Chains A and B, each alone.
Chain A
Amino acid sequence: MSERKLTVLPIDTDAYCDPETGMCAVPAAQACSAAVTADGPAGADDPGGTDSAASAATSPPPSRERR
């Protein structure tokens, strides 16, 4: 596989885990074990619990510095 950026497909997703923090996000600001982003990707801290986390899963957050 070549080392280049990929095209991220615009597919709705239910959850993902942040590769740097281990925290996961699910729709409606709900999360998983090893999971749940309070301060992490994509509005998962949205108290309204809308689809911000779902949106984040569809459009992942930018990479961040590794700890």
Chain B
Amino acid sequence: MSTATVRDLATLQIDVWTDFACPACYLAKPRLDAAIAGTGRSGQIAVRYRAWELFPEATELPFDSFEYVIRKFGGDEARASRLEQRMGDLAQAQGQPYLVHHPIANSLDAHRALKLAAEYGRDAVFIDRLQRDLFGSGTDVFDTRYLVAVAADLGIPAERTDAALAGNGYADEVRADQARARGLGLTGIPFTVLAGKQAIVGVASADGFRRAIEAALTGEGNDR
């Protein structure tokens, strides 16, 4: 069954605005997955990952995340370290590796590749793979060669990823996601929208996500 068909049949549509470079999104993904599984109605729920670029001005040349944080703190390295440690603790508490030093670069190509992955029903695993490699191994997941290789690993023909990234493939879709988010009043990511009506801004607990999803499933439903 195609992903589109699953979405058509779903009782509840969940839209998640996310970015690969977003540590909060990294934390949220397994919690949302667990929440959906916890409802016992995952077959009635469709998740669509939508693009948000946290660093749209960034180039393809990676910069160090920790250096970025220090700059934002006016050079206060101790404070930056303390705060990064807290994020690492949150990640490790749920079994996710987290490197303080990981690269950040422009994520447009990664989002474009994600759109292609969604056509193959591989978007969720694509996100998991990229974020694990980014936050867990410090891999430059924004690199075109990396994106093509990972997509191929996940069953997406390399020639399709190559062609999309060499041209402007899916760029309009990425921009449309971001325009839609602004229209909806996005104030933070991850930005999880249930049935096009209710939003959760940030990383809820798995139980918090689950309760909200269950309420949406038994409530007004999907207004797509």
Chain A nearest CB from B146 CB (Å) reads 18
Does B188 lie within 8 Å of A60, measured CB to CB?
yes
**Chain A residues with Cβ under 8 A from B197's Cβ?**
6-7
Interface assignment of B104: CB less than 8 Å from any CB of chain A: yes
Chain A facing B: main interface SS = loop
Does B183 lie within 8 Å of A3, measured CB to CB?
yes
Chain B facing A: main interface SS = mixed
Q: Which of A10-41 contact B (CB under 8 A)?
A: 11-19, 21-24, 26, 28-39, 41
Interface residues on A, range: 35 or more
Chain B nearest CB from A37 CB (Å) reads 8
Q: A1-B180, A34-B23, A63-B185 are in contact. Are A8 and B199 (CB under 8 A)?
A: yes
Q: What does the 1/0 interface line of B103-118 toward A look like (CB < 8 Å)?
A: 0100000000000000
Does A34 lie within 8 Å of B83, measured CB to CB?
no
Query: What is the CA–CA distance of A47 and B175 in the complex, to the nearest angstrom?
Result: 37
Does A34 lie within 8 Å of B69, measured CB to CB?
yes
Query: What is the CA–CA distance of A22 and B68 in the complex, to the nearest angstrom?
Result: 10
Does A31 lie within 8 Å of B205, measured CB to CB?
no
- One of B52, B223, B224 near A19 (C-beta < 8 A): B52
Q: Which residues of B come within 8 Å of A, CB atoms?
A: 13, 15, 19, 21-25, 27, 52, 54-55, 57, 65-66, 68-69, 72-74, 80, 82-87, 90, 100, 102, 104, 135, 180-191, 193, 196-205, 208-209, 211-212, 223-224
A-B contact pairs, 15 of them (CB 8 A): A1-B13, A1-B184, A3-B184, A8-B200, A11-B212, A15-B27, A15-B202, A16-B203, A26-B86, A31-B86, A32-B84, A33-B104, A38-B72, A38-B74, A61-B187
